[in-house]
Structure 1
Amino acid sequence: MLEPAQIRPVVVAALAEDAPSGDVTSQVFVPAAAVATADVVAREPGVMAGVQVLEVVFDEVDPTVEVVLHIDDGEEFAAGDVLATISGPARAILRGERIALNLLQRMCGIATLTSQYVAAVAHTRARVVDTRKTTPGLRVLERHAVRCGGGHNHRFSLSDAVMAKDNHLALTDDITAAITAARAQIPHTMHLEVEVDRLGQVEPVLAGGVDTIMLDNFALEDLRTGVEVVAGRAIVEASGGVNLESVGAIAETGVDVISVGALTHGVRALDLGLDMRITR
């Protein structure tokens, strides 16, 4: 669950960007005393993510605006469903409309896409996880959306775990020794993961004592072989070029985790609208 304190800095920055000197259109077209009601309506089916974001946006614009939610995060909706109803000063609703929709549409798009990946591997034990390929400044929201879609989160930042990738390994001559030295420097509670791009690296990496080994851009047969070689000595993660057409077959190789950058960096915003009417 997101906390308002995590959401508010994103919303404040977005509102300031969108109207640095106020909403001049509403100021000249909409009477200051006008009161309105607006429905957030789904134009296509999807999975909800971002109900708290919707609340924070309008609270930041004007605390007198009332937001009534008709759905919770993680729930599916159909085209035409009313997801929320917003009531209050018309100018305030118009002021928050675009920021609320921008964030909500992206989060729902991520949750919806994630749910499709999760469904594609449901017959296996593999879990679908995101990556750090997120929109700068929006990571906490996008990672929440992945969870709403039934997926899981990888490390949140560079500070959370040791994860040696190809560019790190290119700077060392002895993979096993480098991993062993890294393990000696970190707390016993910190996770250590290493990426490999060929089967010949698996044993040297395991010898160093890793928690997770990432098989990057492996063919399906090599993934199966890699799982057999690891034989439970570490968590096996598959990564690289994963899409909805391939994720099921990847999961069937026996890997534990499949990381999918496309959940956040290649997602399409879901089509949501805000239908407004003046009530007073």
Structure 2
Amino acid sequence: MNKEFKDIIDLALAEDIGSGDVSASLLADKQVSASIVCRKVAVICGIEYAQAAFLSLNKDIKINWLVKDGDLVDASQTLCTLSGSSRAIISAERVALNFLQTLSAVATQTRSLVDKISDTKAQLLDTRKTLPGLRLAQKQAVKCGGGVNHRLGLYDCIMLKENHIIAAGGISKAVAEAKAHFSDLDLIVEVETLEQLAEVLTLSDVTRALCDNFSLQMLSEAVALSAGRLPLEASGNIDKATIVSIAQTGVDFISTGSITKNIQAIDLSLRFA
């Protein structure tokens, strides 16, 4: 367990347990058996986090996972069985389920959109619109659902958006400045018009153009204008109702924050046998 991962688990447990689980303290601490059941169809993700939550409180808890991350499960399917300290299992329950139900929600939401565009060449990308502290976890959940990770943060890829471009005095100047300082990083340029895209296509150092809030007609024209010279990403107003028609324009990538922020937690329950 690396330090960053351990810190996330420890913080979540400390937030919930605080000075001690007063309800669990009322129980006789005996050996029990339990199981976690999924109440709806879902793509599972977060097993590592859930397991760490239990084992952080008692390393002797035995967990037998019947599924793995990325598996599609049915309603009422048992995900795992547990045995060990009753107090430790109850104290870790909420934190373990929070990780599992949240990350499974991301994976499930992602899979639903990926399936919709499976007949096109478009790949579904996530964004930086993630829960604070859970960036890496949610991005792993996107991969479990069949999506592709965008940049991890502000440090591993240059993305020039409208305010960067305005401050630099234009697209060409912004690109030149970016590559002068960070020539080893990928460079994505956001465009809001076809004219801006035409300018980007004249520049040799750009990795991808992000077409922000383009209409379907504009996206089709952008694909024709690019003619395969530069990968195109569509972003803005992406949902279940629009994603297929957007993918059918021929864009290479579609990015949306909905798969990490507009999610509904998967219903899970833990019960003693």
TM-score over 0.5 for the pair: yes
Which residue of 175, 180, 185 maps to 1:190? 185
Are residue 20 (structure 1) and residue 28 (structure 2) matched?
A: no
Moved more, 41-50 or 6-15: 6-15
The answer to whether the 8 A contact 1:191-1:211 is kept is yes
Q: 1:60 is matched with which residue?
A: 56
C-alpha separation in 2, matches of 1:123 and 1:6: 38
The answer to whether the 8 A contact 1:7-1:56 is kept is no
Shift of 1:4: 5.5
Are residue 31 (structure 1) and residue 28 (structure 2) matched?
A: yes
SS at match of 1:195: strand
SS at match of 1:11: helix
Structure 1 residue identity aligned to 2:86: A
C-alpha separation in 1, matches of 2:3 and 2:108: 25
SS at match of 1:208: coil
5 Å-filtered alignment, 1:154-193, equals 154-187=150-183, 189-193=184-188
C-alpha separation in 2, matches of 1:176 and 1:98: 51
Q: 2:195 is matched with which residue?
A: 200
Q: 1:10 is matched with which residue?
A: 8
* Count of aligned residue pairs for this structure pair: 272
5 Å-filtered alignment, 1:242-261, equals 242-261=238-257
Moved more, 237-246 or 173-182: 173-182
The answer to whether the 8 A contact 2:44-2:104 is kept is yes
Moved more, 15-24 or 175-184: 175-184
* Structure 1 gap ranges (5+): none
Shift of 1:5: 4.7
TM-score normalised per structure 2 = 0.96
C-alpha separation in 2, matches of 1:6 and 1:41: 28
C-alpha separation in 1, matches of 2:3 and 2:50: 14
Shift of 1:206: 2.4
Structure 1 residue identity aligned to 2:199: P
Q: Which aligned segments of 4 or more residues in structure 1 are displaced greater than 6 angstroms?
A: none
TM-score normalised per structure 1 = 0.94
C-alpha separation in 1, matches of 2:3 and 2:97: 20
Q: 1:116 to 1:273 in 2, by over 3 A?
A: same
Q: 2:147 is matched with which residue?
A: 151
The answer to whether the 8 A contact 1:4-1:56 is kept is no
Which residue of 241, 259, 267 maps to 1:271? 267
C-alpha separation in 2, matches of 1:4 and 1:273: 28
Q: 1:225 is matched with which residue?
A: 221
C-alpha separation in 1, matches of 2:81 and 2:174: 56
C-alpha separation in 2, matches of 1:183 and 1:228: 27
Shift of 1:200: 1.5
Shift of 1:203: 1.5
The answer to whether the 8 A contact 2:164-2:174 is kept is no
Shift of 1:50: 1.2
Deviations 1:72-113 (A, max 9, x none): 111110011000111100000001000001110000101011
Structure 2 residue identity aligned to 1:204: E
